[in-house]
Amino acid sequence: MVSADDLPTGQVTGTAAEPAAGRPAAPAVAPRPRSAPDPAGDRAVLTGRPPRAEPPVGAEPAVEGPPDTGTPPDAETPVTETPVAEAEPGDRTGPAQRADAPARSEPARLIARFRQARDWTIAASYQFFLAGTVLAVAAGAVLRFATPSHLWLDESLTVGIASRPVPDLLQALRHDGSPPLYYLLLHVWITLFGDGDIAVRALSGVLSLATLPLAWLAGRYVGRAATALGNGGPSAERRVGLAALLLFACSPYAIRYGSETRMYSLVVLLVLVFGFAAVRALNRPDLPRLAALTLATAALVYTHYWTFLVVFTVAAFLLLQARRREHYRRPALRAFAAMAASAVLFAPWMPVFLFQMLHTGTPWAPRVQAQVLLDTVFDWAGPQSTGALLGIILLGGALIGLTARPLGGELHVKISGRAPGRYLAAIWLAPLVLAYFVNMFGGSAYAERYTGIALPACLLLASLGIAQLPVHRAFVAVVVIASISGLLGGYQLARTERTQASEIANRIADLARPGDVVAYCPDQLGPAVHRAIQRRGGIDVREIVYADEAGPALVDWVDYADRMKRANGAAFAVEVNDLAGPDHAVLLVRADGYRFLEGACAVLSDQLASLRDRALQVEKRDLYEGASLERFSTLR
């Protein structure tokens, strides 16, 4: 006799060879082959919840209520009586049980409806999550264009330089200390769309939005690489791509500088482009891919000089890999040569670059402590409690992405790190460590806005770690919390006023008479207030800047520290007083606490007060660029 266990899967046999005479054969029900798709299993992949288990053998099945046919309860409906066996004496389970059936069907109907609602919720959870993702990305996109703040110093300087003819633009950059690519792009943008606050900021918003599809693709590549190396689960590619998209879209740093007329959004975009170009060149080092890597490297260093730190980190990695891995030597050396070839493209700018390195720098920046490397992550995460929460998520995700891989329902940790997390951690941390040492020994600034060179690697590493969470609910919860906290922090940054320039310009318009003098101390207050005065129009005043002959529209950073140390507040007060003469008032835009000026602006104010009546018109507020306005009347 053949046992049922010996039959192929799906073949069913009865206990007798033939059906009993006079009885119809029971229809054979073949179970679904194991390779067939399981709708409940498919839903579990999307929702992260296992399918509902079948009741165990022998368990009492739930009693379903009769179907609702739409017939009124009191309508006469033919009923087929089911024969009921006579109850034995003392047995009360016969007619009594049938009388209880209607009472028991109502709870069963409620249970069935509850299960149906639960199954629908599970099936629709993926759609809910997808809709939430779209809303989060849309909210992040809107915030990049929704800032009400007026342009502050750096933005006003950028627009003032980019608005000039190209030869004058390049000459102004010689005294500013920046490379030209973003300024040339903004020059074309202003030609097309004008130089209004919204118009000039829109370029950064567009560049920031362009990073989102690249971030999604980069996340998918990282997830695919982790899976190929045995350090990622089967859904790592999809998960890491989704987490990366949300972290970039909701990043307070990306929102903040996506709404500012500076080059930092372009830096983040080009770092991603550079990463793709480097990986493609390593995978197949043919001429088109190597040329793309050369162009991407040149675009980086033409945008911001801190990007040299990223280029040096990747170049050192390529040389190290070429030495350690024989089979990797040829593509690594070719990629290194392609990056080095960008020096040919940078050569025309080299004389200006050398002059800037010798004479401009960042004299306004103090030295920082080593903890700034940790503070940078929380700076990226935004202000207050939301920033602290997102910072913890980023650091925790980065640690998991560096050391762990999913193993069943747990994480298997390797202290020495795993690929590709090790590479992302190196590209994140090595440039910042180099920047710290340059600040300590080279005198260059370590500023939060410059650190966008390392942001993509950090967010991709954090995305990898979040995607490694073995429990799907935990993955969804962390992504949702990170997105909400990022949007809240980005909202605060985007909606905060950054300067008092417009308030001061409006007050000057109310007070000034034709020929009055507006003086700026320090000179760094000049560009924003001057732009606000010019855009308001109808204000006929003469403007003069402390220790700076370039005028109020620009700041001359050439030998700035030495020039400020040689200047004298009392001497400048005499110059301002003589310029105004006896018939015109002096309006002083002032802020104390700037490096190398010591108390020069306070001395200037006191000297003018000894010659004229002083009245405070605008009080300095606690803003990123706060300033006060004092009016000194005509001579006594």
* Residue pLDDT, tens place only, 229-262: 999 888 999 999 999 999 999 999 999 999 999 9
Cα distances from 586 to residues 159, 168, 509, in angstroms, run 27, 31, 13
Cα–Cα distance, 188 to 172 (Å, whole number): 17
pLDDT recorded at residue 123? 67
* Residue pLDDT, tens place only, 4-48: 334 333 433 333 333 333 444 444 434 444 334 444 443 333 344
Contact indicator for 265, 207 with CB cutoff of 8 Å:
yes
* Residue pLDDT, tens place only, 196-231: 999 999 999 999 999 999 999 999 999 999 999 999
Reported confidence tier of residue 355, pLDDT bands at 50, 70, 90: very high
DSSP structure string for 452-503:
GGTHHHHHHHHHHHHHT-SSHHHHHHHHHHHHHHHHHHHHHHHHS--BSHHH
Q: How many residues does the chain have?
A: 636
pLDDT recorded at residue 127? 83
pLDDT recorded at residue 455? 98
SS3 content of the chain, % helix, strand, coil (to 5): 60, 5, 35
**Distance from first CA to last CA of the chain, Å, rounded?**
125
Structure tokens at 281: 């060149």
Query: Mean pLDDT over residues 465-490, rounded?
Result: 95
Cα–Cα distance, 601 to 336 (Å, whole number): 51
Contact indicator for 529, 589 with CB cutoff of 8 Å:
yes
* 68, pLDDT greater than 80: no
Query: Mean pLDDT over residues 360-381, rounded?
Result: 86
Task: Give the CA dihedral 576, 577, 582, 584, nearest 10 degrees.
Answer: 30
* 73, pLDDT greater than 50: no
Query: Mean pLDDT over residues 582-586, rounded?
Result: 94
Share of the chain above pLDDT 90, in %: 69
Share of the chain above pLDDT 70, in %: 83
Q: Is 84 helix (H, G, I), strand (E, B) or coil?
A: coil
Reported confidence tier of residue 636, pLDDT bands at 50, 70, 90: low
Write down the mean pLDDT value for the chain. Answer: 85
Cα distances from 523 to residues 113, 362, 371, 563, in angstroms, run 73, 15, 32, 12
Reported confidence tier of residue 91, pLDDT bands at 50, 70, 90: very low
* 74, pLDDT greater than 90: no
Cα distances from 601 to residues 36, 453, 508, 570, 576, in angstroms, run 80, 36, 19, 9, 13
Reported confidence tier of residue 53, pLDDT bands at 50, 70, 90: very low
Contact indicator for 190, 163 with CB cutoff of 8 Å:
yes
* Residue pLDDT, tens place only, 415-472: 999 999 999 999 999 999 999 998 888 777 899 999 999 999 999 999 999 999 998 8
Residue with the two structure tokens 């000034």: 512
